[in-house]
């Protein structure tokens, strides 16, 4: 049976992914019925502290909509949001629920459309000689940044899926995109650095990453620890912060904001190096401790941390961005106050699964293999799994 063309699925109430994001962002309780398979649901789903998500596969609705089945649906004082992959099966289920007197709406385009939502928020605590914009992808927790100053711009950790979006934004701002920069060889999403380089930007990658076997089809520039790029009147200084990967490099913008990639998040720290296995992982965790202790935590308390990811355990700042000062992180993240031995032991006991399709994505980002845009989009669907723990307050 074609699940995207089930009978009776026409003309049901629906909600767009942007409107759903607004409901979630308001902090309202949002009941979500996910009608994909159990395997798909367990792999990734819409998550937030305000989302009450339940999984009942659509095929169970093909048999009999009885009281036992309805009891598995999340209760709601508001409209129930029903989701699937593309919006066909969920529309069919909405029709059945409406017949039972249950107020429900279908997520337009399903989770494929949800994965295309890309929000932008200006970092309010970055003021003066330039602008810092944070790009947020709620489906995966990926964050990217645009630094803008005096007619020039740089994008850090761009996603290939949103290449046109960055170019549209610099055009709207009336600036030139000078650099497309990666913090490391990503394992959870397909990088947009080469795509932007093909459209006129200068590709920039950390020098230590090249040793992993970079085979780009475009020219690129490398930066080592201490190297400085200029964007208008702003400086972007490379700070080598290995641990998550051997080449992981953070970028200190105007001595005020540090773009930490996957080294340090506002709710956790980066995962052990996905390049290694066995004892190599323990070595990577120790290296990450040294990076935090000798590099990142040596900056003043008022330096703002702007990470490469966020999870549903992260609370946004008052301006809506996922940022926090180093002083704030020291205050609420016990992991940062551990001894080296305790840090290594804690992180090794909480090693998350690797990102979906990480081997294929790494090969693409190294330039060893190529895929079209549709294949790239499919590969990176799902959670990022780049953080060790989503609940640092319980990690001591």
Residue 234 burial (C-beta neighbours within 10 Å; 0-12, 13-18, 19+) = buried
Q: How far apart are the first and last CA of the chain?
A: 50
CATH number of the domain enclosing 37: 3.40.250.10
List, for the chain, all residue ranges whose pLDDT scores fall below the cut of 50: 1, 390-396
Query: Are the beta carbons of 225 and 241 closer than 8 angstroms?
Result: no
Task: Assess contact for 83 and 33: CB atoms under 8 A.
Answer: yes
Give the pLDDT of residue 1.
47
Domain end call among 114, 134, 159: 114
Give backbone dihedrals phi and psi of 91, rounded to 5 degrees, phi first: -65, -40
Do 41 and 162 share a structural domain?
no
Q: Quick one: 145 and 292 in the same domain?
A: yes
Q: What's 161's DSSP letter?
A: G
3-state secondary structure (DSSP) of residue 248: coil
DSSP codes of every residue in 103-130 = -EEEETTHHHHHTT--EEEE-TT--SS-
Number of domains in the chain: 2
Residues classed as catalytic: 84
Note down the domain range covering 88: 3-114
Q: Are residues 315 and 333 in the same domain?
A: yes
Distances (CA, A) of 269 to 325, 352, 390, 391: 14, 12, 9, 10
The pLDDT assigned to 296 comes to: 95
Q: What local confidence, expressed as pLDDT, does residue 213 receive?
A: 92
- Do residues 109 and 123 share a domain? no
In percent, the amount of the chain with pLDDT more than 70 equals: 91
β-bridge partners, 270: 387
**Both 144 and 276 in a single domain?**
yes
Calpha distance 160→191 (Å, rounded): 5
Beta pairing partners, 348: none
Please tell me the distance from the alpha carbon of residue 90 to that of residue 95, in angstroms, as a whole number: 9
Looking at 71, 97, 114, the residue that finishes a domain is: 114
Indicate whether 56 and 96 sit together in one domain: yes
**Same domain for 187 and 53?**
no
Q: The dihedral of CA 310, 311, 314, 316: what is its sign?
A: positive
Q: What is the CATH number of the domain that holds 366?
A: 3.60.15.10
369 and 257 in a common domain: yes
- SS3 at position 335: helix
Q: Does one domain contain both 241 and 310?
A: yes
- The angle at the Cα of 371, spanning 366 to 375, to the nearest 5 degrees, equals 120
State residue 95's pLDDT score: 92
Tell whether 103 and 248 lie within a shared domain: no
Domain termination site, one of 83, 114, 145: 114
Position 380 scores a pLDDT of 87
Residues whose CB is less than 8 angstroms from the CB of residue 190 and which lie 6 or more positions away in sequence, other chains included = 159, 160, 161, 361, 364, 365, 371, 376, 379, 380
């Amino acid at each position: 049976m074609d699940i995207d063309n089930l009978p009776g699925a026409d003309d049901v109430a629906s909600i767009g992914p942007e409107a759903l994001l607004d409901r979630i962002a308001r902090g309202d309780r949002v009941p979500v019925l996910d009608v994909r398979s159990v395997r798909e649901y367990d792999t990734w789903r819409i998550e937030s502290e305000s989302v009450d998500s339940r999984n009942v596969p659509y095929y169970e609705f093909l048999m009999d909509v009885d009281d036992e089945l309805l009891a598995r649906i999340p209760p709601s004082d508001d409209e129930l949001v029903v989701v699937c992959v593309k919006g066909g099966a969920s529309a069919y289920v909405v029709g059945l629920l409406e017949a039972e007197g249950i107020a429900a709406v279908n997520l337009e385009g399903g989770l494929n459309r949800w994965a295309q939502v890309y929000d932008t928020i200006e970092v309010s605590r970055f003021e003066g000689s330039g602008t810092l914009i944070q790009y947020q992808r709620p489906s995966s927790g990926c964050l990217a940044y645009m630094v803008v100053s005096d007619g020039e711009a740089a994008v850090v950790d761009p996603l290939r899926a949103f290449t046109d979006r960055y170019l549209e934004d610099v055009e709207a701002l009336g600036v030139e995109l000078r650099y497309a920069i990666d913090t490391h060889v990503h394992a959870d999403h397909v990088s947009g650095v080469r795509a932007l380089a093909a459209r006129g930007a200068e590709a920039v990658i950390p020098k230590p990453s090249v040793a992993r076997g970079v085979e780009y089809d475009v020219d690129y520039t490398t930066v080592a620890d201490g190297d400085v790029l200029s964007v208008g009147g702003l400086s972007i200084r490379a700070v080598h912060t290995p641990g998550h990967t051997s080449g992981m490099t953070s970028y200190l913008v105007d001595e005020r904001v540090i773009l930490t990639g996957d080294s340090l998040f506002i709710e956790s720290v980066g995962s052990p190096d996905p390049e290694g296995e066995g004892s190599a992982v323990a070595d990577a965790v120790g290296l990450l401790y040294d990076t935090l202790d000798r590099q990142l935590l040596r900056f003043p308390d008022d330096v703002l941390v702007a990470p490469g990811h966020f999870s549903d355990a992260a609370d946004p700042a008052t301006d809506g961005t996922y940022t926090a000062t180093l002083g704030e992180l020291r205050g609420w993240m016990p992991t940062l106050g551990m001894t080296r031995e305790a840090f290594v032991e804690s992180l090794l006991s909480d090693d998350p699964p690797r990102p979906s399709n990480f081997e294929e994505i790494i090969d693409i980002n190294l330039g060893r293999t190529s895929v079209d845009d549709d294949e790239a989009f499919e590969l990176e669907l799902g959670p990022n799994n780049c953080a060790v723990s989503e609940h640092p307050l319980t990690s001591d």
